[in-house]
Structure 1
Amino acid sequence: MRRTRAAVATGTLLAACAALLTATPSAQAAETPGFHIKDGRLLDANDKDFVMRGVNHAHTWYPDKTTQALKDIKAKGANTVRVVLATGDQWTKNDTADVTRVVAECKENRLICVLEAHDTTGYGEAGAAAPLSKAVDYWLGVKSALVGQEKYVVVNIGNEPYGNSGYSAWTADTKAAIGRLRAGGLDHTLMVDAPNWGQDWSFTMRDNAASVFAADPDRNTLFDIHMYGVYDTPAEVSDYLNRFTSAHLPIVVGEFGNMHSDGNPDEDAIMSTAQSLGVGYLGWSWSGNGGGVEYLDLVQGFDASRLSDWGKRLFDGADGIKATAKEASVFTSGTGGGGGTDPGEGTGTGACAVTYRLSDWGSSFNADVTVRNTSDRALDGWKLDFAFSGQQKVTSIWNAKATQSGTAVHVTPESWTSAVPAGGSVSFGFSGSSTGTNAVPTAFTLDGRACTTG
């Protein structure tokens, strides 16, 4: 997390090169099934789109809290946890045995595990911070805990690897780190943090992302922006994330909060923009913050029953984790999971089962829809049709596309929600306006076949 603010600087456009971005990964990477990047999207080992929805957990400072924390984080609906580890340069090293245990507990809780080396935080400005080269030494040293876990683990090379000094070295150092890790036998998706305490106000990562991606022989690098006080308007949030997605470069918001000492980040814009673009986000952090930023605790005292206002916003609010998270298909043998729903909810004997959750505020409403494929065939593209009973109108939609004619609504998927395996599910949501009674639709058809409801 970032502790100082610098003014936002004007940057140049991303230097995206289509030929480089679509180059064939190395044969070694192709032989290792795991997370991978395709056309700017993060795909899991089943070649299914995966959007991170989760939180950060400060394992290195609270190792005795991790077992329960991971259980609680999963119970809140998350599909990913970013775990703080230490290389031994600033904080006590998390050794191979400890990393092995963390990975196993993530898998037990059906959470994708993003492992990050925290000792690089603020290098060049923070006196005790380690360079990226030390983080590479660490990952190669704990390699035995990582190899074979490519389906479940993303390696975040170094947290916020530069402060606000010396950050022009970020591009060369990041390329060198990726090269050493690949040469050392790590075929995982590698996540790289921005400089400037993670916030990239200098646009160093943004403007050099294409060349860094192309320098990875596996073409399997995910970029990580941290959004605190620099991102305090919707325009700043939208511009930054759209620069990546429009260039087909993979991006995730690896940290963000609802307030900070360097300014007030616009968490609503961060979450809504990420949702509309299909970009992952990970809130900072589960619990244990100190030094004046205790307000960033999602739960108080590691007690899952004591959600802070920030926790309520992240887990339960609009575009939040419960409404948007989808479990990685690797945990269900190729089947998908809904965002925090009961696994048995909405199932039936038809071709599909639909759950429609309505939040009605009179003249406006939100609906969260989960469609479960109960047939014996996988879907690659789908059409859901239903009709409103009154004067409801769809005004915006996420994770899908919609057209409306009178009361009839026709929904089709986005590219990342198109595939639904047999027994799997897909979720989308929409906002609308209404006049008079706003009842839940009573009949749904998927590709022309009637669905059960529940």
Structure 2
Amino acid sequence: MKTRLSAAGATLLALLVTVLAFGQPAHAAAGFSVAGGKLYDANGAEFIMRGVNHAHTWYPQQTSSFADVKALGANTVRVVLSSGDRWTRNTNADVANVISLCKANRLICVLEVHDTTGYGEQSGAITLDRAVDYWLSLADVLAGQERYVIVNIGNEPYGNQNYASWATDSANAIKRLRAGGLTHTIMVDAPNWGQDWSFTMRDNAASVFAADPARNTVFSIHMYGVFDTAAEISDYLGRFRTAGLPIVVGEFGFNHSDGNPDEDAILAYSQANGIGWLGWSWSGNGGGVEYLDLATNFNPASLSDWGQRLFNGVNGIRQTSREASVFGGTPPPTTPPPTTPPPTTSPPTTPPPNGGCTATFTVTNQWQGGFQGEVRVTAGARAITGWTAGWTFANGQRVTQSWNVALTSSGTTVTARNTDYNGRLAAGASASFGFLGSWTGTNSLPVVSCTAS
């Protein structure tokens, strides 16, 4: 799996490009789609991955694992496959069976080719172009499964050497898949054994996204020893959020040979910001990282400490996972649910008789020095095409991050405007946005104003 990485010599480059924010799908689509930096299922419901990786290609007999991870609350499984270049090829029939197992257990399938791992440094690793050959050979199996399958082109497609062509190679791979008729959401992994310490993916993600004719690409970062502080985690993921680019944590653990990742910060930041994640891995690890097994010997009744943390801990799978709506379950909320009941809500102003809007301010979670808030905007007696909410903090609070909104601050005064996809509201309908903030001493609730257009 992973090797020790060094961040020495890496330069911090500013993200200079942003992408257009596409609105939330207004109607059912053929499959998953990307809009405004978020992932939506075929019903147009936002989908946030909460799941695990499963090493199917090395343990093809462990087919009960799909039901086991579902029973523990997962909504997604990332499945390790092989093109046949480094391990035994997963045949078309086998991949079709994997997809059927995912669907039978109401799991979204992220399928990945593992043979690309560490290309340029790892002996025998294949190119992304070769991985595309494998995906195109599965065209008959993948066709019609866009509602349930996401295609992860190649696992950790470069090591710590010769990774400069990552952007060009990723863009070309996406274009080949589209030209070959694949319409699924595509996932691309970062170089540097997935950890992108060189910021190659971060600084070229917008151009790779733009190379996809369908604008239906999701980026995947793997977080191990490189991401051992909360600041590194929030900075990396936050830059994708700011740019409106979809990002998931495709792999992470609680420890590793290259360092000690901050798994609590990964889980907390992802939950606060609606970012999907997939823990490594269900069972069967070797090579000295057996401690990354979530279940001992594939036994769901024998979870490791890591498994207990990921499935049952704070911000873990049981607490935060929502089944994809394509299976008939309850769609996930458009903003992350609070980890504690909202303690206080400011009263709304009286709705104007003709149109207009009102807004309520809620503290959904609070800790020493910080809090998570939500503002809900509700249209009045007539439909509106846009809204602006505003308030002034009385105790010096500051907004540090926000989502589902275009938010600006001037001192303690905050102005929040709708995004492209949540400004149009029918009469009486609501939209909400969230944010993280800091406070000292007192965190009193402000009065929120709302104007509509």
TM-score, length basis structure 1: 0.74
2:258 aligned with 1:262: yes
Q: Identity of paired residues, percent?
A: 58
2:300 aligned with 1:304: yes
Change (3 A) 1:319 1:383: farther
2:331 aligned with 1:336: yes
Match of 2:40 among 40, 43, 48: 43
Whether the 8 Å CA contact 2:362–2:373 is kept in 1: the answer is no
Change (3 A) 1:10 1:337: closer
Matches within 5 A, 1:188-203: 188-203=184-199
Match of 1:295 among 285, 288, 291: 291
Change (3 A) 1:294 1:329: same
Matches within 5 A, 1:5-84: 5-7=5-7, 9-19=10-20, 22=22, 33-66=30-63, 68-84=64-80
Change (3 A) 1:399 1:274: farther
Change (3 A) 1:331 1:182: same
Distance in 2 between residues matched to 1:258 and 1:382, nearest whole Å: 44
3-state SS of 2:93 partner? helix
3-state SS of 2:164 partner? helix
Q: Deviations over 1:375-412 (max 9, x none)?
A: xxxxxx9999999xxxx978766695599xxxxxxxxx
Distance in 1 between residues matched to 2:237 and 2:165, nearest whole Å: 23
2:107 aligned with 1:111: yes
Whether the 8 Å CA contact 1:116–1:156 is kept in 2: the answer is yes
Distance in 2 between residues matched to 1:288 and 1:214, nearest whole Å: 38
Q: Deviations over 1:98-127 (max 9, x none)?
A: 110000110010000000000000000001
Distance in 2 between residues matched to 1:15 and 1:386, nearest whole Å: 34
3-state SS of 1:114 partner? strand
Aligned to 1:272: 268
Distance in 2 between residues matched to 1:151 and 1:10, nearest whole Å: 39
Whether the 8 Å CA contact 1:33–1:150 is kept in 2: the answer is yes
Matches within 5 A, 1:282-431: 282-332=278-328, 335-336=330-331, 366-367=340-341, 400=374, 415=404
Give the letter aligned to residue 10 of structure 1.
T
Matches within 5 A, 1:208-227: 208-227=204-223
3-state SS of 2:188 partner? strand
Distance in 2 between residues matched to 1:128 and 1:210, nearest whole Å: 30
Give the letter aligned to residue 331 of structure 2.
G
Distance in 2 between residues matched to 1:199 and 1:171, nearest whole Å: 15
* CA deviation after TM superposition for structure 1 residue 164, in Å: 0.5
Change (3 A) 1:382 1:38: farther
Aligned to 1:239: 235
Distance in 2 between residues matched to 1:156 and 1:382, nearest whole Å: 43
* CA deviation after TM superposition for structure 1 residue 147, in Å: 1.1
3-state SS of 2:98 partner? helix
Whether the 8 Å CA contact 1:323–1:368 is kept in 2: the answer is no
Aligned to 1:166: 162
- Farther off after superposition, 5-14 or 250-259: 5-14
For this pair of structures, how many residues does the alignment match?
370
Change (3 A) 1:399 1:87: farther
Distance in 1 between residues matched to 2:358 and 2:326, nearest whole Å: 22
Aligned to 1:157: 153
Aligned to 1:353: none
Give the letter aligned to residue 336 of structure 1.
P
Distance in 1 between residues matched to 2:168 and 2:338, nearest whole Å: 49
Aligned to 2:176: 180
Aligned to 2:90: 94
Give the letter aligned to residue 5 of structure 1.
L
Change (3 A) 1:112 1:383: farther
Whether the 8 Å CA contact 1:278–1:399 is kept in 2: the answer is no
Change (3 A) 1:176 1:322: same
Whether the 8 Å CA contact 1:14–1:209 is kept in 2: the answer is no
Whether the 8 Å CA contact 1:83–1:114 is kept in 2: the answer is yes
Aligned to 2:445: none
3-state SS of 2:62 partner? helix
Runs of at least 4 residues of structure 1 off by over 4 A?
Answer: 21-25, 366-369, 381-387, 392-403, 413-416
Give the letter aligned to residue 171 of structure 2.
K
Distance in 2 between residues matched to 1:212 and 1:189, nearest whole Å: 14
Distance in 2 between residues matched to 1:150 and 1:175, nearest whole Å: 20
Distance in 2 between residues matched to 1:62 and 1:382, nearest whole Å: 55
Aligned to 2:449: none
* CA deviation after TM superposition for structure 1 residue 228, in Å: 0.2
Distance in 2 between residues matched to 1:51 and 1:368, nearest whole Å: 22
Distance in 2 between residues matched to 1:41 and 1:24, nearest whole Å: 8
Gaps of 5+ in 1: 339-355, 359-365, 370-380, 404-412, 419-425, 431-454
